[in-house]
């Protein structure tokens, strides 16, 4: 029997049988792992297995092919955030994206660290602007880790590395202001904070979400439009209402 004890972030939970549940957790060193939690839908376990919670997880499996049994202990709860519509939408989306997009059993330590950072920012920030930029960067990193990264180093049309203001939806490469002349309406705005660091204005943050959302939908979430992307659309709409 193999046993893995590790810290992890709860990403998704679905019913399995009358009382059990299958949880997908993101671990620092072993990537996304699924496990069966006996009594996972019980009153005691539901608050522990909320998406975004940090847990101490123990997976036990007789073979590599077998779904592991999973026991968890709560390390850090983000349950109060699930009562707030905007933070709850952010957590639901970031965790759902992770659970759907990543192959199981492949290490992504940078993504684990980044997701933990996004969740921490949602928890700590007094306003959404404090964590929305982190969410855009997380989506951009996830695209890159899965082989669909954007090339934001130089203009696809002129070769310049300065004044990059757009991204080509066709090539996923940056385009400078000069290279975009006459084609602006066909390109996606590139928010400055993705090149310069720091935060951005709300209009730039929404541009960033539009940018990453386009490539996530095209390259990764092609079969999940109806349910998973609905969570992202709810988040974006709530952000728009919050800044209106």
Distance CA 218, CA 235 (A): 19
What residues contact 5, with CB distance under 8 A and at least 6 apart?
56, 57, 58, 59
Look at 126 and 10; give whichever has higher pLDDT. 10
pLDDT tens sequence across 171-208 = 999 999 999 999 999 999 999 999 998 888 999 999 99
Residue 126 pLDDT more than 80? no
Domain 2-77: CATH architecture, name and number where available: Beta Barrel (2.40)
> Model-level pTM?
0.94
Domain positions in the chain are: 2-77, 82-152+190-243
Look at 222 and 148; give whichever has higher pLDDT. 148
Region 214-237: mean pLDDT is 84
Res 53: pLDDT: 98
pLDDT tens sequence across 72-113 = 999 999 999 999 999 999 999 999 999 999 999 999 999 999
């Amino acid at each position: 029997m193999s046993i893995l004890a590790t810290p992890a972030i709860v990403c998704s939970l679905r019913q399995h049988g009358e009382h059990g549940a299958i949880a997908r957790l993101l671990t620092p060193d072993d990537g996304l792992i699924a496990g069966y939690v006996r009594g996972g839908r019980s009153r005691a376990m539901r608050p522990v297995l909320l998406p975004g919670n940090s847990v101490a997880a123990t997976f036990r499996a007789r073979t590599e092919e077998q779904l592991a049994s999973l026991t968890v202990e709560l390390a850090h709860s983000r349950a109060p955030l699930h009562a707030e519509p905007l933070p709850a939408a952010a957590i639901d989306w970031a965790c759902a994206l992770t659970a759907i997009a990543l192959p199981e059993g492949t290490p992504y330590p940078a993504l684990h660290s980044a997701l933990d950072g996004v969740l921490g920012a949602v928890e700590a920030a007094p306003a959404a602007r404090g964590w929305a930029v982190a969410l855009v960067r997380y989506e951009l990193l996830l695209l890159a880790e899965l082989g669909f990264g954007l090339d934001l180093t130089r203009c696809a049309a002129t070769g310049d590395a300065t004044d990059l203001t757009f991204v080509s939806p066709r090539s996923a490469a940056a385009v400078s202001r000069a290279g975009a002349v006459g084609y602006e309406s066909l390109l996606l705005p590139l928010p400055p904070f993705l090149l310069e660091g720091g935060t951005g204005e709300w209009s730039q943050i929404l541009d960033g979400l539009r940018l990453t959302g386009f490539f996530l939908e095209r390259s990764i979430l092609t079969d999940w439009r109806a349910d998973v992307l609905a969570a992202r659309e709810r988040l974006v709409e709530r952000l728009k209402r919050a800044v209106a």
